[in-house]
Structure 1
Amino acid sequence: MPKQAIPHPVLATPRLRLRQFRADDVDAMHACFADPEAMRFWNQPTYTKRIETERSVRSFVDCTPSYYRFWAVADAGTDRCLGLVNYHDGHIRSRRASIGYMIDPALHRQGIATEAVTAMLDFCFSELGLHRLQAFIHPDNRASIRLIEKLGFRREGLLRDNLRVGEVWRDDLLYALLAAEWRGAA
């Protein structure tokens, strides 16, 4: 008997639509993945070939929702992909996951990431019933630190040589938010 697909929830905000990725989102995501500035704090090297982005977008579509899920962050009016938000390393049974996000650098400082991450946090805490969400952030990523702290995450520590990107080991700051601390909690 074939496995039944779990529907991908669409999350809406005043300016955004968080939806499942599609093949036509590759060009928008390649603008991010091929940009060294955008990838400076990401967990993988800059993509030089479009085929690398195509593979990633395919993996965003074909995910296991109990472990990870990616949303394309799209403009509510045009449905144009602006970036992504996701939860990953999810352990739905133990009610925790890590989060990530990336918005096209040309659109930074417009509140898009804050709006998109807020919608995802609401979903993770209310719909999935998660207890803890965490974010691993490079210590030099001031914009991401400001965003995550504005949303109520607390810094829990420095993880030395936590992630290997290419041949380079890098540190991460660990931030976490509990469901009881989330402003949308009942």
Structure 2
Amino acid sequence: MARQPIPHPILVTARLRLRQFRTEDVDAMHECFANPEAMRFWNTPVHTKRLETERAVQRFIDCTPSYYRFWAVAEAGTDRCLGLVNYHDGHIRSRRVAIGYIVDPARHRQGIAAEAVSAMLEFCFGELGLHRVQALIHPDNTPSRALVEKLGFRCEGRLRDNLRVGDEWRDDMLYALLATERPSRA
């Protein structure tokens, strides 16, 4: 008997709808992935060809939810994709994951990433029952560091030469949020 796919949860906030990726999201994601400024802290190179983004979006659609899951961050009213949030390096059995996110640079400083990551955290701690969520952030990525700190993450230290991007080794700052440390939801 064929195994049924696990349904992709839709997460809804005041302004956003986090949903499964679709092939129609390629153009919107290419706005992020082809932008050198948006990609400068990612561990993948800038996408110079649309085909690279098509392949990435297909991987987001085909992901294995117990290890990683990607949500398209879409406007609630138009369903237009603005970016992504995800958990990865999943260890659902040991109740911990790492997270990532990117938003179209044209939509920066509007609170979209914070709203989307917050919704994903609710899912991770609530539905998945996770104990620990962590984020690895480049030391110079001040906006991303501020975002996770705003959401209650604590910096646990600097990981030297933690990530190889091309021929370059990069440091990461390790941030984590434990279920027991989450800000109150009053």
- Please classify the TM superposition score into its range, dividing by the shorter chain length: over 0.9
**1:2 shift after superposition:** 1.3
Aligned residues: 186
Question: For the structure 1 residues 88 and 185, does the alpha-carbon distance in structure 2 shift closer, same or farther, using more than 3 Å as the test?
Answer: farther
Which whole-Å deviations, capped at 9, do the CAs of 1:2-29 have from their partners, x for residues lacking one?
1210000000000000000000000000
Q: Is 1:156 the equivalent of 2:156?
A: yes
SS in 1 for 2:74: strand
Q: Is 1:174 the equivalent of 2:174?
A: yes
Check the 8 A contact 1:83/1:104 in 2, yes or no. yes
Question: For the structure 1 residues 101 and 177, does the alpha-carbon distance in structure 2 shift closer, same or farther, using more than 3 Å as the test?
Answer: same
Residue 117 of structure 1: aligned partner: 117
Residue 14 of structure 2: aligned partner: 14
1:50 maps to amino acid:
R
**1:184 shift after superposition:** 5.1
Residue 35 of structure 2: aligned partner: 35
Question: For the structure 1 residues 185 and 128, does the alpha-carbon distance in structure 2 shift closer, same or farther, using more than 3 Å as the test?
Answer: farther
**1:165 shift after superposition:** 1.1
Root mean square deviation, CA, Å: 1.1
SS in 2 for 1:144: helix
1:11 maps to amino acid:
L
Question: For the structure 1 residues 184 and 58, does the alpha-carbon distance in structure 2 shift closer, same or farther, using more than 3 Å as the test?
Answer: farther
**1:128 shift after superposition:** 0.2
1:148 maps to amino acid:
V
Q: 2:141, 2:104 → 1: CA distance?
A: 15
Q: 2:185, 2:99 → 1: CA distance?
A: 18
Residue 51 of structure 2: aligned partner: 51
Q: Which runs of 5+ in 1 are unaligned?
A: none
Q: Is 1:95 the equivalent of 2:100?
A: no
Normalising by the residue count of structure 1, what TM-score does the alignment of the two structures yield? 0.98
SS in 1 for 2:31: helix
**1:112 shift after superposition:** 0.2
**1:182 shift after superposition:** 1.2
Q: 2:168, 2:54 → 1: CA distance?
A: 25
Runs in 1 of length 4+ with deviation above 6 angstroms?
none
**1:185 shift after superposition:** 7.0
1:62 maps to amino acid:
D
SS in 2 for 1:63: coil
1:7 maps to amino acid:
P
Q: Is 1:24 the equivalent of 2:24?
A: yes
Q: 1:100, 1:176 → 2: CA distance?
A: 13
Q: 2:3, 2:164 → 1: CA distance?
A: 35
Check the 8 A contact 1:122/1:184 in 2, yes or no. no
